[in-house]
Amino acid sequence: MKLVLGRDDLAEAAVAAVREAGGEPERVGISPVHKASRGFVNASDVDLCELAIVTVLQAVAHGKPVLLLPLTTLGRHQHQTLVTMGGLSVADVEGHRVGVRAWSQTTGVWVRGFLTEQYGVDLRKAHWTTYEGHHVEGAVDPSWVRRAPEGTKLPADFLAGNVDFGIMGNELPADDRIRTAIDDAHTVAQQWSKDQGFVPVNHVVGVSEAAAARHAPAILAAYDAMRTVLTDQDESGPFPLHPVGFEALRGAFTKAAAYALEQDVIPRAVDYDELVQHTCAALDVSPSRLGG
């Protein structure tokens, strides 16, 4: 049973649990972890894989054999990821050039959702540039989005002034000229979470349908082990950064799905209960077994 997980603590717990359940686990080392998504979603080349939340939504919308295991491996506030180097602010997004690594990048979906919902931005009035395609075969950029020339990277393009704004998380370059486009982004993010009742989720865990059919006891054992690691963490703040269980993830998934549909990231609406039912049927468990 092949597993791809970016965090060592979660990987070690999952591997030990699978082995104790009678499986033969193999941790596949792929870094950064999002590079494993394409093979997992389109070819089921591993059995259990850390995935971006929007990749899960795209996979389901495109009929890929992917199940959600409701564990958050990465959650974070996102308002600070919209950056600029000039005198522009979030009020200037319309009419200006905005770069994002991929249209389906989860950080980008969250930020574009904030732009429309909180700041009244018409996304089609900004000039969008993407630098990579989608993890899910069949997904394409909207017609109103431009693809950068092959080999171009967002951080370099941003520093060169070829885009006015960038949406960047881990790939944000170190440069003293860079500042957040949203004033007091941390406070704004905290208030958004207070209003919504959750922190934006980036990465969760996916399981292939084939693995669920072959290794259900081992998958459930891995879930239990990773749940223990995540729930034992001491997390400050009113809302957990790493929610676990179907009900704990409902708010983030529902909001992300609505944003993704509005932004032409997914071709159809994806109802969260569809994900819950699909997983439970494949693993032959009730929702309550997985925190729902």
Q: 């431009």: which residue's tokens? A: 146
pLDDT value, residue 73: 97
Which positions of the chain have pLDDT values less than 70?
Answer: 234-236
* pLDDT for residue 169: 87
Buried b (16+ CB within 10 A) or exposed e, 57-82: bbbbbbebbbbbbbbbbbbbbbbbbb
pLDDT value for 170: 84
The pLDDT assigned to 48 comes to 98
Using an 8 Å Cβ cutoff, are 131 and 152 in contact? yes
Model pLDDT, residue 42: 96
pLDDT for 66: 97
pLDDT recorded at residue 14: 98
User: Prior bond to 32 cis, omega within 30?
Assistant: yes
Q: What is the pLDDT of residues 243-283, one digit of tens each?
A: 999 999 999 999 999 999 999 999 999 999 999 999 999 99
Task: Count other Cβ atoms within 10 Å, centred on residue 277.
Answer: 12
**How many alpha carbons fall within 13 Å on the CB side of residue 187?**
3
- HSE-CB at 50 with a 13 A cutoff on CA atoms is 25
pTM score of the predicted model: 0.96
